[in-house]
Amino acid sequence: MQSAISALAVVMLLAGAPAIAQQKAAGSNRAMERAVAEQKALVDDFNKHDAAAIAALYASNAVLVGPTGDVAKGRAAIEQTEANTIKGFGNFKFASVVKDGGAVGNGVWFTFETTIESKAGSGPTIHVHGLSVLAPDGGKSWKLAATSLAANVPPPGAPPAR
C-alpha cells in the first residue's frame, strides 16, 4: 500500500513539473520584457541628454556605482552624476542591449551592454557593461533600485588587453 502511495506521489510530481516550468518561463519572460522596456527608456533619455528624466527612472533611495567606483546615492545625486556624464560626452549616441535577466524576490535583475559613440567621430567608443535591479515602487510603478557599471571591459573569452 505504501509503495502505491509513493508511486502516486511521484506521478503527481512529474505531472506538475511542466506547469511549474511554464510558470517559471512566463515569469522570466515578463522580467526580460520589463528590463528591456526600462533600458529602452534609459536609452531614449540619454539620447535626449535629459539627466532629470534619467534620474526619474531610479527609486528615491537608489544607488548608482560608476565604472570608476564612484557611488551616487539617491535620485538627486544620480541626476547630478548623469548630468556630468552627458556634459562630459558632449554630442554622442547612446545604445544599449539587455543581455540576460530574471526575477529576484519581487524585483527584476538584468545585465546589459552599452556603447557610447561620439556623433562627430572624435573620441573613442566607450563600451559599458552593467547590472541593474528593478523593484516595485508602490502601486504599478517600477524603478531602478541599483545599477553597477564597468567600462571598456573585454567580452567573456576575449584575451586581456596589454
Give pTM, 2 decimals. 0.76
Predicted pLDDT of residue 64: 97
Domains of the chain, with CATH numbers?
2-151 (3.10.450.50)
Of 67, 151, 62, nearest to 114 (Cα)?
Answer: 151
**47 CB neighbour count, 10 Å cutoff:** 12
Predicted pLDDT of residue 18: 46
Full strand arrangement of the beta sheet holding 92-104 = 71-73, 58-65, 142-151, 126-136, 107-118, 92-104
Strand locations in the chain, DSSP E?
Answer: 58-65, 71-73, 92-104, 107-118, 126-136, 142-151
Predicted pLDDT of residue 72: 97
Predicted pLDDT of residue 52: 98
Predicted pLDDT of residue 101: 93
Positions in the chain short of pLDDT 50: 6-24
Of 97, 119, 117, 115, nearest to 152 (Cα)?
Answer: 115
Are β-strands 58-65 and 126-136 bridged in parallel, bridged antiparallel, or unpaired?
unpaired
Predicted pLDDT of residue 10: 39
Residue corresponding to grid cell 573569452: 157
Grid cell listed for 30: 515578463
